[in-house]
Structure 1
Amino acid sequence: EQLASRILSEQAEIGSDRIRKGLLENDEFTKLVSASTTLHNIPLFIDDTPALTVSALRTRARRLKRRHNLGLIVIDYLQLVSGSSTSRSDGRVQEVSEITRGLKTLAKELEVPVLALSQLSRTVEQRDPPRPQLADLRESGSIEQDADVVMFIYREEYYMERKKPSRRADEDDGKLVERLERWEGALQDIHQVAEVIVAKQRHGPIGNVPMHFNGAFTRFGNLSKDHPYRQRFHGED
């Protein structure tokens, strides 16, 4: 239900909080109805069965492929999938290894791409800047090995918002205001900006792609060519 609400919010371009609280104007309600109709006609199937195994996922995917010509499988997220009882007894790393191999086999069998989200380890937050790397994937060995493409989403704004300057010992108002102004300026330069980091691509190049991020609708899009972020981090004109 929560996922469906977020998808509806993105499609209608109405904040999910406003939808949830019923704070809609007449024109927004019309947009919501239109978006709901559009989504109803999209062959999108959400299965929120907890601790689903790869075997159970394979059964469901085969059925959807047969009945609806399934075109994409999204796992949100990998660490919520369960392995077999045997792999579970061998430890979490072995269990995740079995899961990633099973997903790769499923993708080949059905000729359907599998997009699997994964958690990151906490060590990423201890770096400066905290850009994620392949080693930050939890139980990373098999994920890195089996995936054809690994991409991370990095938003510097997320981390900088949590570094708002506070008054230092013996610091006067002028110095604090000066530091706050520098922080606010830097924050504005990266407002609604994200990077997609292509850390692995079996059949192509790796690198970083700057993106625009609209948090209200959890939507990513193209970043304008003249955005300061491009010059600051990528040296682009």
Structure 2
Amino acid sequence: MASSEDTALIALEAERAVTCALLSSDGAEAYSEVSLHLAADDFGSAAHRLTFEACAALTARGDVVTSVAVSTYLKASATWKDEYVAELQLAVSGAVSIAHIASYAIAIKEKAVARRLRARLGEIADKSLRVGSDVTAEDLLADIDSITLNVEAKASHVRLLDGPGAMQLEMTERWEAIQAGASIGARYPLDGLTSRLGAAENGQLIIIAGRPSMGKSVLAMNFALENAIENVESLSIGAIASGTAVTTDDVPLVAVFSLEMDRAQLGNRTLSAMTAVDYQKVKQGDFTEQEWERVNLAWERMYRSRLHIDDDGFLTPARMRAKLRQLEQRTKKKVTAIVVDYLQLMSGDSRRAETNRTLEVSEITRGLKIIAKEFQCPVVALSQLSRDLEKRADKRPVMADLRESGAIEQDADVILFVYRDEVYNPDSMSRGMAEIIIGKARDAVLGMVPAVSELQFQRFVDTTANAYSYEQLTGRG
């Protein structure tokens, strides 16, 4: 028998009203409306849940939803029990208006969310007893934050019903923002990429992939540096040298999550890229007098920036989201761009995913895409490539080379491959050059953007016009 607490978490009267509508002469219309707001597991009563499932099954196979069709379906169902009949009789004995069915659906949804929250909080309470062994207090905080990521708080607005007017309003607001000089996303570190792809738009998941030593981490940090410092007028060399005052409102907030390198290493890389001082010298802190001048100026630019680096070796989408929320709350600023190095070192949030790596990567990429949309900024995530490409004569990456590629291909808006021919061919005609291959782009033409690989300075820079092409390299052009 259900406890009073269980009963309190079911909107029984609302479920009866919806079921009554589903079994009425307007059953088809009622299902069309209710299905916009509810799924079968939103119903707390088994009788009403099975009735909704019957309507869904009938609709899926093209049958008309009627009381006779639903009744016939339920009687033939292996999960239907005679004890549910009494509850359905109570439901159909009432009267209900189709006009109010949306409000009943919202009431059912609210209780469904409450049940999920209660169940999840119960799991966390049980997990709290393991703090001090395999669980930390930070794990519990991340689990608590993940609740709002995975549990829908209320019925979502059905944008399909808005009509073209709403779309035109969004387009107009976007045009006005662009013409007013507002940024609609983040800049790529190479002009060649920006001209091909436009801005790295808010809500996009961008994957940078490559084999070891190709420079994918360098390109990702160049992206962070471009948006945190290099493209910020108040942090320019001229502004800093002149002593121009900088307020926090002028400086974008950029977050970097590094699971492979510590914060000091990334700081050295950033300083080398900003100053064009050899990375090996930066690591040792061994500078000439002229280099010290450049380093001091870059040091001041870094200090005034809002480039935040997290080098925690364990990261899940939920932990990442919790840290981003804390960062925004503490700085009182909105995150402009997020970089993750790298995807395969992350862990999934659910235990179910831990037993299946492909499922776990799917959960991670989906989590990163949700974070990009929620924080309304681009997320740049690095990815490994399969060793299988080493067996090919032409080792330029293709989509199939992405490890656990199905989920990554599906969720990513842009996929960039970094390729340097000299890694495989030391005598290559393209020494010192890199190819940034656009493997996927939802709103741009695929192709290749050449770049000069100044890896001694931890950076890629644009080439001069027509300085390099794959056709020239292979003699096909």
Bin the TM-score by the shorter chain.
Answer: 0.7 to 0.9
Q: How is 1:147-166 mapped onto 2 (pairs within 5 angstroms)? A: 147-161=412-426
Q: Supply the distance in 1 between the matched residues of 2:314 and 2:383 (Cα, whole angstroms).
A: 15
Give the TM-score normalised by the residue count of structure 2.
Answer: 0.42
**Matching residue of 1:131:** 396
**Kept in 2: contact 1:65–1:110 (CA 8 A):** no
Counterpart of 2:369 (choices 96, 104, 125) is 104
Judge conservation of contact 2:348–2:354 (CA < 8 Å) in 1: no
Q: Mean Cα displacement is larger for which, 6-15 or 88-97? A: 88-97
Question: C-alpha displacement at 1:30, in angstroms?
Answer: 1.5
Q: Please state if 1:43 is matched with 2:306.
A: yes
Q: Secondary structure at the match of 1:160?
A: coil
Q: How do 1:1-237 residues align onto structure 2 when only pairs under 5 Å count?
A: 1-66=264-329, 67-161=332-426, 183=427, 187=428, 189-227=429-467, 229=469, 232-233=472-473
Identity %: 40
Deviation string 1:111-146 (CA, Å, 9 cap, x unpaired) is 111100001111121111100111111111100100
Segments of structure 2 that go 5 or more residues without pairing to the other structure are 1-263
C-alpha distance in 1 between matches for 2:327 and 2:446? 33
Q: SS where residue 75 of structure 1 aligns?
A: strand
Q: Which amino acid aligns with 1:20?
A: K
Normalising by structure 1, what TM-score? 0.83
Q: Distance in 1 between matches of 2:420 and 2:276?
A: 21
My pick for the range that moved more, 45-54 or 227-236, is 227-236
- Counterpart residue identity of residue 36, structure 1: W
- Gap runs ≥5 in structure 1: 162-182
Q: Is the 8 A contact 2:316 2:347 kept in 1?
A: yes
Kindly provide the amino acid, as one letter, of the partner of residue 115 in structure 1.
V
For residue 74 of structure 2, what is the aligned residue in structure 1?
none
In 2, Cα distance between equivalents of 1:229 and 1:45: 36
Structure 1 pair 106/202, CA: closer, same or farther in 2 (3 Å)? same
Residues matched between the structures, number: 212
Summarize deviations over 1:134-170 as a string: whole Å, max 9, x none. Answer: 1111111100100011110111111112xxxxxxxxx
Query: 3-state DSSP class of the match of 1:52?
Result: coil
Cα distance in 1 for residues equivalent to 2:470 and 2:356 = 44
SS of equivalent to 2:371: helix
Whether the 8 Å CA contact 1:210–1:230 is kept in 2: the answer is no
Q: Given the superposition, is the C-alpha separation of residues 57 and 219 from structure 1 closer, same or farther in structure 2, using an over 3 Å criterion?
A: same
The one-letter amino acid of 2:370's match is T
Q: Secondary structure at the match of 2:322?
A: helix
2: CA distance, partners of 1:98 / 1:81: 10
1:235: Cα distance to partner? 8.5
Deviation readout 1:66-107 (Å, 9 max, x if unpaired): 422210010100011111242443311111100111111111
Maintained 8 Å contact 2:315/2:346: yes
Q: Which of the pair has more CA radius of gyration?
A: 2
